[in-house]
Structure 1
Amino acid sequence: MAAKEWTLDASDGRLLIHTGVTGRAAKMGHRLTIAMTTWLATAQWSGDELVGAELTVDVESLQVLKGEGGIKALSGPEKALARSNALKVFEAERFPQIDFRANDIAQTGDGYLLTGTLEIHGVVNECSVSVRVEDLGANWRLSCETEVRQSDFDMKPYSMLMGSMKVVDSVAISFTAEREKEG
């Protein structure tokens, strides 16, 4: 079987971060949905078997899509402030990329378990992600959900009001992309 490579980017799907809020003043804060709008994923195949996977994300591409909860709706200027605060937490100027590289790939009932290294904020940790693969007829859909703890990557979750309102350490990551079937 011939080897092939898929290249996917933000035109093929979405990479989202979902945050929570905690602390005595948590009701004042918003649970954010953040899109990473510039990313590149590659999947290497040998025949019908996935043999390699990588993902690179441009941290500066972070965009706040919406905020749920809070005392009032999240305004445009508040979205801009939340983006600025998130980029500070990431230290985006020093650490402009997030990288995942699969070192081991195991087939599962509905896709693959990718185990590899995740680098965020200059810190590299082992990470496992279950990727679902769905046959949509003309397309393949790849999707996954996982959680990442900011503190595992030497990041301090954003807080205000002397810590009485802060972003929850663990954030949820969701990824969905579609790829047209070949021939």
Structure 2
Amino acid sequence: MTDTSWTLTAAEGELQIFTGVGGPAAKMGHRLTITFASWQAQVQWRGDEPVAARLVVDVDSLQVVRGEGGVTPLTGPEKGVVRSNALKSLDAKKFPQISFDTESISPTTGGYRLAGSVTIHGTTRPQSVDLAVEEHDGMWVMSTEVAVVQTEFGVKPYSLFVGTLKVADEVTLRFTARHPR
């Protein structure tokens, strides 16, 4: 059996976060789409089976792509304010990276289950991820979507107007990537 490894980056895929809005004034807020421009996933293979994976995300590469809903459209300058607030909530200077490390990888129908731990804001918690894998035109297309509760990692969701408008505690993380088979 031959051991090989893959390295995936933002050039091969996308790592996005989708937020909701909470509080009595929720209709005033925007549901955000956030992306990270700098991340790296390493996958170790033994023969035809993945045996380990590690994802590292550079928090300060966070970019606000769009905001849906709200009273008015989200403007460019407002995206900058949202980015700044998100980096403060994540305490990006003290905790510059988010990581996910597998402890086991097992085949599932249509992909793999990655069980391991995720570290956000200096807090590490167990996490399982079901990664869908499909083959298209000689490429493996991988995707997953997982809910993350910010307060479980010590992250206080951003709020305005004494908490009457706030980012929902649960956000959705979506990962997609392509790699030659």
The answer, yes or no, to whether TM exceeds 0.5 is yes
| Other-structure match for 2:134 | 134
1:138, distance to aligned residue in structure 2 (A): 1.6
What is aligned with 2:165?
165
- Structure 2, gaps ≥5 residues long: none
Match of 2:59 in 1: 59
Q: Using the TM superposition, give the Cα deviation of residue 105 of structure 1 relative to its aligned residue in structure 2, in angstroms.
A: 1.1
Question: Paired residue for 1:44?
Answer: 44
Residue 116 of structure 1 corresponds to: 116
Superposed counterparts of 1:68-147, under 5 Å: 68-147=68-147
Q: 1:180 corresponds to which residue? A: 180
In structure 2, C-alpha distance between the alignment counterparts of 1:72 and 1:100, rounded to whole Å: 36
Aligned to 2:32: 32
Report the residue type matching 1:50 in the other structure: P
How far apart in 1 are the matches of 2:104 and 2:79?
38
Alpha-carbon distance between aligned partners in 1 of 2:161 and 2:18, rounded to the nearest angstrom: 22
Deviations 1:77-106 (A, max 9, x none): 000000000000000000000010000111
User: Cα deviations across residues 130-164 of structure 1 (Å, max 9, x unaligned)?
Assistant: 00111112211111000100001011100001000
Distance 1:48 1:136 in 2: 18
Q: Percent sequence identity over matched residues?
A: 50
Aligned-pair Cα RMSD in Å: 0.6
Q: TM-score under structure 2 normalisation?
A: 0.99
Return the alpha-carbon distance in structure 2 between the equivalents of residues 141 and 48 of structure 1.
Answer: 16
Distance in 2, Cα, partners of 1:171 & 1:73: 21
4+ residue runs over 3 A deviation: none
Q: Which amino acid aligns with 1:61?
A: S
Aligned to 1:148: 148
Report which stretch shifted further, 132-141 or 51-60.
132-141
Q: Post-superposition shift, 1:15? A: 0.1
TM-score using structure 1 length = 0.98
Measured after TM superposition, the shift of residue 30 of structure 1 is 0.2
* C-alpha deviation, 1:3, in angstroms: 1.2
Report the Cα distance in structure 2 between the residues aligned to 1:141 and 1:113, rounded to whole angstroms.
15
Q: Partners in 2 of 1:143 and 1:63 — Cα distance?
A: 20
Residue in structure 2 matched with residue 13 of structure 1 by the alignment:
13
Q: SS where residue 163 of structure 2 aligns?
A: coil
Letter in 2 for 1:21: V
Distance 1:176 1:80 in 2: 25
Secondary structure at the counterpart of residue 86 of structure 1: helix
Q: Cα distance, 1:10 vs. partner?
A: 0.3
